[in-house]
A and B are shown apart, each in its own frame.
Chain A
Amino acid sequence: DTGVSQDPRHKITKRGQNVTFRCDPISEHNRLYWYRQTLGQGPEFLTYFQNEAQLEKSRLLSDRFSAERPKGSFSTLEIQRTEQGDSAMYLCASSPPSGSNTEAFFGQGTRLTVV
Chain B
Amino acid sequence: QKEVEQNSGPLSVPEGAIASLNCTYSDRVSQSFFWYRQYSGKSPELIMSIYSNGDKEDGRFTAQLNKASQYVSLLIRDSQPSDSATYLCAVNTRRLTGGGNKLTFGTGTQLKVEL
Q: What residues of chain A have their CB less than 8 Å away from a CB belonging to chain B?
A: 31, 33, 35, 40-45, 48, 50, 53, 55-56, 89, 91, 95, 97, 99-109
Contacts and interface: CB of A to CB of B under 8 A. Distances in A.
Nearest to A32: B100
B111 interface: no
B101 A102 contact: yes
A108 B100 CA distance: 21
Nearest to A56: B96
Nearest to A100: B99
A105 B96 contact: no
Contacts of B51: 101
Contact of A108 (B42, B49, B101): B42
A100 B49 CA distance: 13
B100 A33 contact: yes
Contacts of A35: 103
A101 B101 contact: yes
Contacts of A100: 31, 95, 99, 101
Contacts of A48: 96, 98, 100, 102
Nearest to A50: B98
A105 B95 CA distance: 17
Nearest to A30: B98
Given A103-B49, A104-B46, A42 B106 contact: yes
A42 B101 contact: no
A56 B99 contact: no
Interface string B75-115: 00000000000001010100111111111111110000000
A56 B92 CA distance: 14
Given A31-B99, A55-B100, A101-B31, A42 B45 contact: no
